[in-house]
C-alpha cells in the first residue's frame, strides 16, 4: 500500500469536509426600495427567496446581482411569496427570466382572497407550485456536519398552527390594543420561522396589527428569535408591540424606502424593546420625521439617489454567533445567539 498516497488522500478529504462543514447560513436583504426580497442561502447551498420586489426590471436585476455575483447561485431553488401585493410578487417573472426558479410556495386561490397576482406571476415557468399552510415545513436540504435547518410556516391566510406543547402564555394579552381590521391581503401574509441550530429568524411579510396579535395571544406560537425582519417595511399598521416584546429579538432588519415604512410608532417600539441591540435599515427615512431612523452607521442607503446597497447576515457553522453587515460600507457587527 502506498501510505504516502493514502495520507495525502486522507488529508485532502479532511480539508474538503472541513470546507464543506464550515459553510455558513447567509441572508441577504435586497434594496427593493420599499418592497421586500430576502434571499437565503443555506449551508447545503440551497437558495430560498422570500418575496421578489416590484416589477419593472430594477428589483429583479438587483436580486439577480446578489444571487449571481455575491452568492454565486445558478438558480433559485424555492420562492415563497408572502402575499399578493405587487411589491412582494412583482419581480418574480422577470427574475425567472434570469435565473430558473424551481419551486414556488404561496397562498394559491383561497376563500376570502380578494387580491390576486398578475398573470405574469401565475404563468412564469417553474417546476412546481404549491400552497403553503400553517404548520408546514418547507423541505430543505441538510448539510453534512452543519446544524439542523428548518423553515416553518407559523401561519398564513389569518390562520395559525396549533400551539406547541411548550408554548408560553403572553402576560400582556389582557391589555392588548387593537386597530381597525385590515381588509387587504396584507392580513393574509405568510409567517415564517427559520431555525438553524440555535439561530432563529422571523419574517412575516406585511402581516398587520390585529392578526399579528394571534402570534402571541393567548400563547406565544413563535418563541424567541435572534433576528426580526421588521414587518411591513416598518409601517405603524403592523409591528404590534405585543409581538416584538414577546419575540425578544436581538437584531431587527427593516426593508424600507426613503418615504415608505420606518414609522414613528414602529421605531419607538424597536427602541423600547430591551432585547434589541441593533436595528439595521435598507434606507434612511427622508420624510420630515426623519429623526425616526437608526444611526447612519446601520443604514445601507443614506441618500435619495441610492446605491442599492444590501444588508447581509452570516451565521457561523457552529450556529453560536452571527454577523450582520453592510458590505458596501464595510460596516459589520457580530452577535451571540440567544441561549434558550
What burial class does residue 118 get, using C-beta atoms within 10 Å of its C-beta: 0-12 exposed, 13-18 middle, 19+ buried?
middle
- CA torsion sign, 211 to 36 to 139 to 150? negative
What is the domain partition of the chain in residue ranges? Answer: 23-336
The yes-or-no verdict on residue 3 having pLDDT over 50 is: no
Give exposure, 54-74, as e/b (b: 16+ Cβ within 10 Å): bbeebbbebbbebbeeebebe
Query: What average pLDDT does the segment 36-64 reach?
Result: 98
Reported as half-sphere exposure (CB side, CA atoms, 13 A), residue 236 has a value of 8
Task: Give the pLDDT of residue 318.
Answer: 79
Q: Please write the tens of the pLDDT for every residue from 97-125.
A: 999 999 999 999 999 899 999 999 999 99
Lowest mean pLDDT among 27-31, 37-41, 142-146, 249-253: 142-146
Q: What is the average pLDDT across 184-189?
A: 98
- CATH number for the domain formed by residue range(s) 23-336: 3.60.15.10
pLDDT per residue over 144-175, tens digit each? Answer: 989 999 999 999 999 999 999 999 999 999 98
Amino acid at each position: 500500500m502506498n501510505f504516502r498516497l493514502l495520507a495525502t488522500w486522507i488529508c485532502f478529504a479532511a480539508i474538503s469536509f472541513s470546507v464543506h462543514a464550515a459553510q455558513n447560513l447567509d441572508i441577504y436583504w435586497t434594496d427593493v426600495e420599499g418592497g421586500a426580497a430576502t434571499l437565503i442561502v443555506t449551508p447545503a447551498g440551497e437558495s430560498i427567496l422570500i418575496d421578489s420586489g416590484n416589477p419593472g426590471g430594477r428589483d429583479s436585476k438587483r436580486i439577480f446581482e446578489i444571487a449571481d455575483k455575491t452568492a454565486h447561485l445558478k438558480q433559485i431553488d424555492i420562492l415563497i411569496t408572502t402575499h399578493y401585493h405587487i411589491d412582494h410578487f412583482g419581480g418574480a417573472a422577470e427574475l425567472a427570466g434570469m435565473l430558473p426558479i424551481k419551486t414556488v410556495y404561496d397562498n394559491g386561490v383561497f376563500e376570502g382572497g380578494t387580491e390576486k397576482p398578475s398573470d405574469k406571476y401565475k404563468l412564469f415557468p417553474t417546476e412546481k407550485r404549491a400552497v403553503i399552510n400553517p404548520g408546514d415545513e418547507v423541505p430543505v436540504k441538510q448539510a453534512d456536519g452543519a446544524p439542523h435547518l428548518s423553515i416553518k410556516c407559523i401561519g398564513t391566510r389569518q390562520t395559525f398552527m396549533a400551539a406547541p406543547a411548550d408554548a408560553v402564555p403572553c402576560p400582556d394579552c389582557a391589555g392588548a390594543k387593537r386597530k381597525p381590521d385590515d381588509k387587504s391581503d396584507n392580513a393574509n401574509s405568510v409567517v415564517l420561522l427559520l431555525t438553524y441550530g440555535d439561530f432563529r429568524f422571523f419574517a412575516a411579510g406585511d402581516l398587520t396589527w390585529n392578526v399579528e396579535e394571534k402570534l402571541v395571544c393567548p400563547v406565544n406560537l413563535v418563541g424567541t428569535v435572534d433576528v426580526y425582519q421588521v414587518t411591513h417595511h416598518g409601517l405603524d399598521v403592523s409591528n404590534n408591540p405585543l409581538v416584538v416584546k414577546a419575540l425578544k429579538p436581538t437584531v431587527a432588519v427593516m426593508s424600507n424606502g426613503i418615504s415608505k415604512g420606518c414609522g414613528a410608532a414602529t421605531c419607538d417600539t424597536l427602541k423600547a424593546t430591551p432585547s434589541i441591540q441593533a436595528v439595521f435599515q435598507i434606507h434612511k427615512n427622508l420624510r420630515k420625521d426623519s429623526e425616526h431612523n437608526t444611526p447612519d452607521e446601520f443604514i445601507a442607503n443614506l441618500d435619495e439617489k441610492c446605491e442599492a446597497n444590501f444588508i447581509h447576515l452570516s451565521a457561523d457553522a457552529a450556529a453560536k454567533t452571527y454577523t450582520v453587515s453592510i458590505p458596501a460600507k464595510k460596516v459589520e457587527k457580530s452577535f451571540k445567539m440567544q441561549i434558550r
